[in-house]
Structure formats: C-alpha cells, structure tokens
A and B are shown apart, each in its own frame.
Chain A
Amino acid sequence: MKKLLAAVILLPISLHLFAQSKPKTAAVKPGIAASIARGKVVYTKNCLSCHFVDGGGVPNMNPPLVKTSYVLGDKTKLIKVVLNGFAQNVEIDGETYSNNMAPHNFLNDQEIADVLTYVRNSFGNKASAIKAAEVKVVRATAKK
C-alpha cells in the first residue's frame, strides 16, 4: 500500500521533471543566437552579482566585461579565467581590481561556451562564438 502510494505521488513528479528536462536537451542546437540566449541564463545566475546586468562590473573591485582585451582577446585565456577563477594583481586596461573571482569549473563545457559567447556579444561587445569543444580542450589541458 505504502509503495503504491509512493508511486502515485512520485509518478506525476517524475513525469513533470521529465517534461522539464526534455526541452532543455532539445534546446541545444547550433547557432550563435541560441547560444547567446542560453548564455544569458548562465550569466544571470553565476556572473551578474559581481559583473552586473550591464557588464560594467564595479570600479576597483570587479572588472568590467565591456570591450576589454580579456573578453575580446585570446579565447583560451578567457576560458581559463572562468575555469580557474582570477586572483592576480594585474592591470586590466589600466585599472586594478581587488576582489577574487572563484573558479567556476562546476559549469559544464556547454554552459561556459554559452556564457562566454553571450558576454562576447553583449554590452557593446562583438566577437566570435566559443564552442563547447574549445572549452573541453582547455579544461583537459589546463588541469592543475
């Protein structure tokens, strides 16, 4: 009886979960627009609190993502920032930033590709997309 009850309760829940996860997998389709759209969701959840909705960051604390050499330059370097975090004293386009960025290696390759593609094509930025395969290569080689 207990088992039956549990099944009755769990069935709609699992169906519901299944229904939710299904379109998620289906949504992974080629095209930069789709990647940007998914990347915005990743950004809002993981990046916005420090880099802000406008990508402008916080003066002296969290660097901006607007037209900086880091964002628009070398892809490998940029992917490494997300995977390993950033806690170095360097000047970014003439300014310094003091807050430590934690590693975000808990994001999967697709999520990192999407969020970086979003960042490279938002806030006035215009740069090529980053692919999950590229993240995969960097993750494999950059293992510390």
Chain B
Amino acid sequence: MFRSHVFCDIKRLYFTELEKSSSFGANNHHTTMKINFKYLIPAVVIGIALFALKSDNGVVADADNAGLKLPAGFGALKVAETGAQARHLTVTPQGDILVKLARVKDGKGILVLHEGADGKAVLTGGFGNYGGTGIYIKDGYLYASSNREVFRYKLDANNKVINPNEPEKIITGLKMGREHETKSIVLDNAGNIYVNVGAYSNSCQEHDRQLGSMGIKGCPILDSAGGIWQFKANKLNQTYGDGVRYTTGLRNVVGLDWNYQDNQLFVMQHGRDQLHDIFPAMFTTKQSAELPAECMYALKKGDNAGWPYMYYDQIQHKKIMAPEYGGDGKKEADGNFIDPAAAYPGHMAPNGLLFYTGNMFPEKYKNGAFIAFHGSWNRAPEPQAGYFVVFQPFKNGKPFGNWEVFADNFSGSEQKTAAGRADHRPCGLAQGPDGSLYVSDDSKGTIYRIIYKK
C-alpha cells in the first residue's frame, strides 16, 4: 500500500511536468524540463516494473500481460480457460463470472466461475441447457438469451441464481435464420429489455449473396428481424405482438449497451458483406475490404438505420445507396435514415460494447466506450483486421475524438491477424466491481481481465 502511494506521487509529478511542458511550449523552462524528465522517466519505468502490474486489491497481472498489448500502466491476466465458445459475460459484486456459451457444453449453456484473491477463477457450476449470446444482470435478476428466447432467473442477496433449473421465459418465438441468429440483450432503468433480432440475410437480395442478384422491394425481413425489439423485463411469454419494434434497418447487432449519461441505447452494427463478390464491376476487392463502415448508432424509438437500402461509407462520410437497390457506390441513399454516431473500418465485427463507469481506469476512460472487435473475414484477399478491443472517447454522452486500439494481440501475431487465423477472438465485455475490464474469447474460451495500477 505504501509503495503504491509512492508510485502514485511519482506519476503525479510526471504528469505535472508534462502539463507544464505543454503549456509553456518553447520558452526557457524547456531545458529545465528536459533535465527533470531525465530523472523522472527512469523512475516511472522502475515504478511500473515493480508495482504497476498489481492492483490495489491484490490481483496480479500475468508476467506477459496474458499476451496482450496494452497502454502503459495497464496489465492483464487470464482469469480462466473455459475451452468453450464464451460469448457475452457478466461479473457480480461477489466475484462470480457468468459466461454465456454459443453452444451447450457438458449440458451447460451458462458457466459460473468464481474468482480467488489473486484474480484466477475456477469453474463452480453451470446451468441453462441452451446455447446463445446475451447475458445481463439487472435489479436482482439474471437475463440470458437463446437464439429464439429470453429467460430470467431470480438472484439472491449474494447475486446467486436461486433456481437455475426453472427460469422464467419472458420472450419467445423470435425469428432465427441461419445467419445473424444470436440475440444480444440489454436493459434500461425503466423496466424494459432490448433484444437484437438480426436479419437472416446479407443484403436482402432475391438470392442471398448471389452474384448480381437485386434486393427484394420493401425488404420483407424487416417485419420481424433486422432491428431492435423492446419488451417488458417482467412479463412472461411475450411474443412480437407484445413488444415494440424499437428501431429498424439494422442488419445485425451483437454489441450493445445502455448509456446512462444521456439515457439512450447504443448499438454496434455489423455492416453488409461482399460488395465486390456481388457487384464486381462497381467495387474492387480493396474497396470491398474497406467498405462499408462498422457503425455505432445512438438509437431513439422509431429510428431507421437504413439496412438493406443503404450502407455507410466512412471514407466519403456519406450514406450510400446499396447496389442491390440501384446504387453504384456513389449515389447517396434516399430515405429518412439516421447517421451513425461513429464509424469504424469495414468487416471488423464489433461483438461487444461497454460504457465504462468504473473508477479503476484513468479519468479519460470514464463514460467512454470499449468495443470488442471479433475480427474480420470478409477482407480477403486484403489482410484481415480487428481481433482487438478499441476505446472510443465520449463527452456528454456522445462520441468525442478519435478511437484508439486499447487491447491488441488477441490473435497472437500480426501474421495471424492478416491471415485471419487468430488464436483468440474478443467477443464480450464486462466491468468488474473494482472497475476491471473483462473480455471473453469465443474461439478458445479464454476469459481476460484488464487492470490498471492506481
């Protein structure tokens, strides 16, 4: 504890000097600053080497930071190796980690892990005989989704599931196609649950993904998919008729979170694939690798994000008419479609979104968004990209400034990233009670925890 305060003081000094240096620019003080830096930088480096990889509560980062590349001052540990397709996850104040699995493993679709004092967790149980993606805790209940239904489980005072074998089925009969079948969930403060129903199509063509096939007029998929549906969190056996199509024109959403700063739903859309494969005369393979953007949307009830009629071109900064609906890569979309809140390079597959409200990380991260990019496939023959966690700064509940890669090297190497042969693929994000950031990997099933040395 004492050591940690010493380090803190060194850090404070270091940043104070930095501030001075920037505010005084190129005056006489500059030489003095340089001399100070000469002593301070080694001091900081030693400080990091000795203490930075241990957080206040005794959790120790792995010597290699779990193989991740992180900003200075951050460390990471592998909390557990589940060996399962770990999709979204949530962490209770008592140190239980609940992980939703894409496919049932040993009869369990939800794993329960419990953390020891060093941060390493062991499997203590599991339940839920269904695969899926969504899992979320709110007001004394655990919510979890299969690819067609949403269940909830009452929690006791220690956030343990009371009756794991008898969940309440709150939503049923959701559309599930072969593609984009997962149902991500999040709740607001007003007793509502939001569920993504992905479009079971790439771009609503007459023939999915077929060369030159045009879009179906008035895309019929949108009546029951390709959007976010709102239901009551406490009502049983709801179907489409009981819910509200909250927003439409979203091809597929996996990462979503509620922003409490402006009380609004934010989602990450997976943009459409294969512009070149389907319309080779209009798009080169390089354009097809870069376009369209993976978009962050801030949603209000009734919004339309435009799929399949348009896509967002992050290079032209325009909403472009989809080629299936008469576009040519240049014509702008015509319709009342919302603009994205932020745009990211194509095909990186944002699978997790989390607004950081913890106190462990430095101030700049507070209320900003972490995004887990699962990594691309549809950039070939161009190198693949993603397989990292991005930080998107926010101000007053809106994206503010450029995004940056926060945690990288889940893939194992640059070559593995380029080849699309990643060792680990980030999927879900969760915030721990101490402000740690948890990341799940649905390829090998590793659970990561990223900490900051206070």
- A101 CB to closest chain B CB (Å) equals 7
**Contact B178 A100, beta carbon cutoff 8 Å:** yes
Nearest chain A CB to B85 CB, angstrom units: 8
Main secondary structure of the interface of B (DSSP, over half): loop
A50-61 Cβ-contact flags toward B at 8 Å (1 or 0): 101110101111
Contact B209 A100 (CB under 8 A): yes
Q: How far, in Å, is B20 (CB) from chain A's closest CB? A: 51
**By CB atoms of chain B within 10 A, which of A52, A102, A103 has the most?**
A102
How far apart are B272's CB and chain A's nearest CB, in angstroms?
Answer: 13
Looking at the assembled complex, report how far the CB atom of B86 sits from the nearest CB atom of chain A, in whole angstroms: 13
B179/A49 in contact, CB under 8 A: no
- Say yes or no: is A34 at the interface (Cβ < 8 Å to chain B): no
Q: Closest CB of chain B to A51's CB: distance in Å?
A: 9
Question: CB of B162 within 8 A of chain A?
Answer: no
Q: Cβ of A85: which chain B residues have Cβ within 8 Å of it? A: 210
Task: Decide: A103 and B210 in contact? CB cutoff 8 A.
Answer: yes
The answer, yes or no, to whether A137 is at the interface (CB within 8 Å) is: no
CB proximity of B271 to chain A, nearest CB, Å: 15
CB contact list, B206-236 vs A, under 8 A: 207-211, 213
Most B CB atoms within 10 A — which of A50, A56, A61, A62?
A50
**Interface extent on B, as a size class?**
20 to 34
In the bound assembly, the distance between CA atoms of A32 and B329 in angstroms comes to 41
Chain A contacts for B419, CB-based, 8 A: 52-54
How close is B381's CB to chain A, nearest CB, in angstroms?
Answer: 6
Partner of A49, one of B180, B210, B381: B381
User: Bound complex: CA of A52 vs CA of B102, how far in Å?
Assistant: 24
Kindly report which residue of chain A lies nearest to residue B178, judged by CB atoms: A98
Rounded to whole Å, the gap between the CB of B54 and the closest CB of chain A is: 35
Interfacial residues of chain B within 380-408, with CB under 8 A of chain A in the complex: 380-381
Knowing that A48-B380, A49-B381 are A-B contacts, what are 14 other residue pairs whose CB atoms are under 8 Å apart, sorted by A's residue number?
Answer: A49-B277, A50-B377, A52-B377, A52-B420, A53-B381, A56-B421, A58-B420, A87-B178, A87-B208, A99-B179, A99-B209, A102-B213, A103-B207, A103-B210
Binding site for B on A (CB under 8 A): 44, 48-50, 52-54, 56, 58-62, 85, 87, 89, 98-103, 106
